[in-house]
Amino acid sequence: MMAADSIGVTPLDTGEFLLGTVTVTPVFFESNGEIDPESQDWTTAEIDEVLAKVGEGVNWWSDMLDTMDTVHTLDFVIDETFARDPFESPYEPIDRNTNALNEYIGDFVTRQGYGDSRSIEEAVQRFNHDQRIKHDTDWAFTIFVVDSSDDPDGLFASGGNFSAAFAYAGGLFVVTPSTRPASTIAHEMGHIFWARDEYQNASSWTDQRGYYDAQNLNAADNPTPGFSQQDSIMRGGVPLTAAFESLTTPASTLAMVGWQDSDGDGVFDVADVPLDLDGIGYWDAEQSLYVFSGNASVAALRNQNSSGPQSDISLAEISELQYRLDDGSWLVADTPHSQTAMFDLTISIADSFDSIQFRVIDTSTGIASPIIGGTAAVPAITAAGITGVAFMDENQNGEKDLGEPALAATGVRVLHADGSPLLVGNVDAADFSDGAIPEESFVGVTLAADGLVSSAEVAAFLQDDAATDRVFHSYDLQRSAWIQRWSSKVALNASFDEPVGEVTVSLIGVGDASYGRVEAYDASGTLITRQTSAVIGDGESMTVQVTDPRGQIASVRIFGHADTSVAIKSIDFGFQAQSMTELSGGFRLPNLPDGDYQVVLDPERAIHSFGSQPLNVSVVAGTSSILIAAAQRVDSPRHNLAIAEDANQDGEINATDALVIINDLARSSPRLLAVDDTEGFDVDVNNDGAVSALDALVVINALARQRNQAGNGESEANGGPDSALMTDLAFRDFEARSATTTPDPSTQLRTTDSGGIPLLGPFAQAERIANPLAMFNFDDGIAVNESVGTRESDTADGGKSSAARRQRTAIAHHADVPVETSDRVQTSKVDELDKRTLRPQDWFFRGIEPNILEPETDWMV
């Protein structure tokens, strides 16, 4: 994983901590006499000698690391391009003082394509950033080597800030005469990664720097009683040489370059940060598969450096997703080898188990995520303020037992203990007209600009050069103008009326590469957390979210990071007040303050009841015990308990019952019934909590059984159920307009419920009918001419029976359409559902497949 692609890194971060891989680019200058007299010339032997010293100097640090009991590695890539072929310069740098570096280094970076930079430091850093990308390393810096092989003292001319080697800290560059020893390279490289000098009259013992902002405790001026200065690579003279030769340097010095192991586990603090895993999994016993989905990411330690851009960086990776059964050995489920990962997988498990656990791990350091645990019965869910599982408690013991079905797509709402809603708010620049926004216009939040030369007022205007995006502006007192750019010089502060758990900010890039940062503070002003965006292109939008598991975010500060600017469109804040159960029945509501809450569950189907609600939950230390939401089976609010097939509640089963279902489907489409859907006919005939073509089919099959019990002659000649059904196909609620309307796909029945769960059993089989109106050949409330299946006895000679003709004439009359010749019913669709051969006398209407199984009923015979 290269730092240029790592979480938190920007082009300004070329040397934040000394771990991983580093590109070192030695640049040797060869004067050509054009401006300064030429006094030095490189020889091949001198080039070889200096390159050897460079290698020895930088590798001192990797040798030093090897003496420590850690999991870390440090490797260097030395790009010798500008050493083997020295860069030709009109200057002789060793004959000038060190203040002249702008001339010869400036000439080099300009000719490398960085002449448009604002400073030498910026130009070299851009060069370094490109070098690390080129060589696929984490960090990069440059060593400018000045030929001093023929100089009398090997030092720069007097009058400058330095006489010998010096460095610009934070991943920039070293400048050194060629005759300096390898220990000098090692010393100056310490500066590159933020270490301070420790010799007399240099940095003070009170100075701090580096990723941990470590104090320079080994400095010569440390007045602490009993202090004894130790040999260190950051001292000078003999103590420096002694440290170099003995591979020793004090812990306070190493802490400045990132080498600090506070807990002694062999992992430096910068890498000793648990990974994040947010997931949910459940056991599918029928398939012997464990289903797991979720996402993972590395987490960066907060960069406390008092210098540099303070980017929060991690070089860690998600190496593996692991699981184990019953506290056994960890097994590998997936190997993403990336800093972020999405999981959607199944694991085949042949043996029975009681418990299962998941984690992600960086195998190079052993750093892992908190464990997510579950059982064969209860899903594994990432800990949160409120977690739970909704299921059918078939044995009514109040516990989730193996085999009890989960209730997916159940709505979950959380309320305060008194039943009041949790805070959910939004402030969007698009909701305001041009100009300053009055403070009273904000609801649940107050916005204020915070900058040295800005007023506190906030305004909304269209973004510069944008036709539609309206963004927040600050007022620049020096320019006397509204400014859309938010940067390290002016930030947008948002203070909430009450603490919240989540804040999401929508940003727009206003340069070639922008980085947005959002910092979250509690009520005392203590920084809780912060997040930095990935790079945002000019005009591109991106959201940044900060969360607090304890729900204590009182305010946020929003600005451009790493010397960049952003525009701000909107801020969403509050809590996740509602959720939906997943396929496992599991749910989680994170980032809630400690306290008591009410949880209300809204089942997808009206035939499921969670009993007395709301459920009471207490959140302590940011979490709670898993909520076991046990549901019972109840009757549908639109089901006739006395006679199921009597949809119109007249005490009889007749064609009108099928008709009212068809009319209902035409008006309201196939649907799941809500608990409070009690008005109207009892159209849920099969009592499954839904209205579908299957309900009409149950009635039709009941009519067919009545017909068969009465005999075919009565049915056809004496006005039995068949005749009644045909007569009733007038569909009083329908307006006959056209016989050729194409069915609307939006009225097709679903094969999954709203939670994405396949509708199994008879309900799914009923979907094979495709459309409840097409089943009776009605579309959008319009009767359509239909071919009629005929019985074998009616069609032995290929003709049509008088009963069949009467049926077809009745349909055509009510639809006001011409009667067409009917073809024999085909059985291919029927055979797909049931492999047995149907008898011709079992045929009914084309589009109706009476052989489809009904719940707890027999085949129609």
Q: Are residues 98 and 224 in the same domain?
A: no
Q: Are residues 210 and 188 in the same domain?
A: no
How many domains does the structure of the chain reveal?
A: 5
Q: Tell me: pLDDT of 755 over 70.
A: no
Instruction: Give the model's confidence band at 711: pLDDT under 50 very low, under 70 low, under 90 confident, else very high.
Output: low
pLDDT of residue 464: 83
Of 574, 607, 639, the residue at which a domain comes to its end is 574
E strand or H helix at 22? strand 20-31
Residue 765 CB coordination number (10 Å): 20
pLDDT of residue 3: 54
Cα(290)–Cα(279) distance, rounded to whole angstroms?
13
Q: Are residues 832 and 806 in the same domain?
A: yes
Q: Are residues 73 and 137 in the same domain?
A: yes
Q: Tell me: pLDDT of 835 over 60.
A: no
Q: Indicate the DSSP class of residue 763.
A: H
Calculate mean pLDDT across residues 768-777. 40
Proportion of the chain in helix, strand, coil states, percent, rounded to 5: 20, 30, 50
Amino acid making up residue 182: A
**Mean pLDDT lowest among 411-425, 618-632, 814-828:** 814-828
**Mean pLDDT lowest among 324-333, 535-544, 769-778:** 769-778
Cα(734)–Cα(374) distance, rounded to whole angstroms?
54
CATH number at residue 525: 2.60.120
Q: Are residues 366 and 437 in the same domain?
A: no
**Residue 299 within any structural domain of the chain:** yes
Q: Residue 64 in contact with residue 247, Cβ under 8 Å?
A: yes
Calculate mean pLDDT across residues 214-229. 98
| Residue 502, domain extent | 424-574
Q: Look at residue 361 and give its three-state secondary structure.
A: strand
Q: Of residues 769 and 601, which shows the higher confidence score? A: 601
pLDDT of residue 846: 32
Cα(786)–Cα(812) distance, rounded to whole angstroms?
8
Q: Tell me: pLDDT of 275 over 80.
A: yes
Cα(410)–Cα(579) distance, rounded to whole angstroms?
8
Asked if residue 614 has a cis previous peptide bond (ω within 30° of 0), the answer is yes
Residue 595 CB coordination number (10 Å): 13
Calculate mean pLDDT across residues 230-239. 98
Of 547, 574, 601, the residue at which a domain comes to its end is 574
Q: Are residues 825 and 711 in the same domain?
A: yes
Q: Look at residue 391 and give its three-state secondary structure.
A: strand
Q: Are residues 339 and 453 in the same domain?
A: no
Partner residues linked to 367 by β-bridges: 362
Cα(649)–Cα(423) distance, rounded to whole angstroms?
46
Residue 371 CB coordination number (10 Å): 15
pLDDT of residue 466: 67
With 0-12 / 13-18 / 19 or more C-beta atoms within 10 angstroms meaning exposed / middle / buried, residue 450 is middle
**Residue 407 within any structural domain of the chain:** no
Q: Are residues 439 and 368 in the same domain?
A: no
Q: What is the mean pLDDT of the chain?
A: 86
Q: Of residues 797 and 598, which shows the higher confidence score? A: 598
Q: Residue 130 in contact with residue 23, Cβ under 8 Å?
A: no
**Nearest Cα to Cα of residue 361 among 397, 408, 316:** 316
Calculate mean pLDDT across residues 240-266. 98
**Residue 627 within any structural domain of the chain:** no
Amino acid making up residue 773: L
Structure token pair of residue 705: 């059984």
**Residue 20 within any structural domain of the chain:** yes
| Those residues with Cβ within 8 angstroms of residue 534's Cβ, 6 or more apart along the chain or in another chain | 515, 542
**Residue 639 within any structural domain of the chain:** no
**Residue 794 within any structural domain of the chain:** yes
Q: Are residues 188 and 206 in the same domain?
A: no
Q: Are residues 436 and 340 in the same domain?
A: no
Q: Tell me: pLDDT of 509 over 50.
A: yes
Q: Look at residue 770 and give its three-state secondary structure.
A: coil
Q: Of residues 666 and 857, which shows the higher confidence score? A: 666
Q: Of residues 712 and 616, which shows the higher confidence score? A: 616
- How do residues 473-500 score in pLDDT, each as one tens digit? 999 999 999 999 999 999 999 999 999 9
Of 506, 540, 574, the residue at which a domain comes to its end is 574
Radius of gyration of the chain (CA): 38
Is pTM beyond 0.95 here?
no
Q: Are residues 47 and 130 in the same domain?
A: yes
Cα torsion through 48, 54, 60, 61, rounded to 10: -150
Q: Are residues 680 and 563 in the same domain?
A: no
CATH number at residue 34: 3.40.390
Q: Residue 381 in contact with residue 371, Cβ under 8 Å?
A: no
Q: Tell me: pLDDT of 559 over 70.
A: yes
Distance between first and last Cα of the chain? 69
Q: Of residues 591 and 464, which shows the higher confidence score? A: 591
Cα(861)–Cα(853) distance, rounded to whole angstroms?
12
**Nearest Cα to Cα of residue 495 among 459, 528, 520:** 520
CATH number at residue 363: 2.60.40
| Those residues with Cβ within 8 angstroms of residue 519's Cβ, 6 or more apart along the chain or in another chain | 527, 529, 530, 546, 556, 557, 558
**Residue 415 within any structural domain of the chain:** no
**Residue 269 within any structural domain of the chain:** no
Q: How far is CA 121 from CA 107, 114, 125, 127, in A?
A: 13, 11, 6, 10
- How do residues 570-614 score in pLDDT, each as one tens digit? 999 999 999 999 999 999 999 999 999 999 999 999 999 999 999
Q: What percentage of the chain exceeds 90 in pLDDT?
A: 80
E strand or H helix at 543? strand 541-547
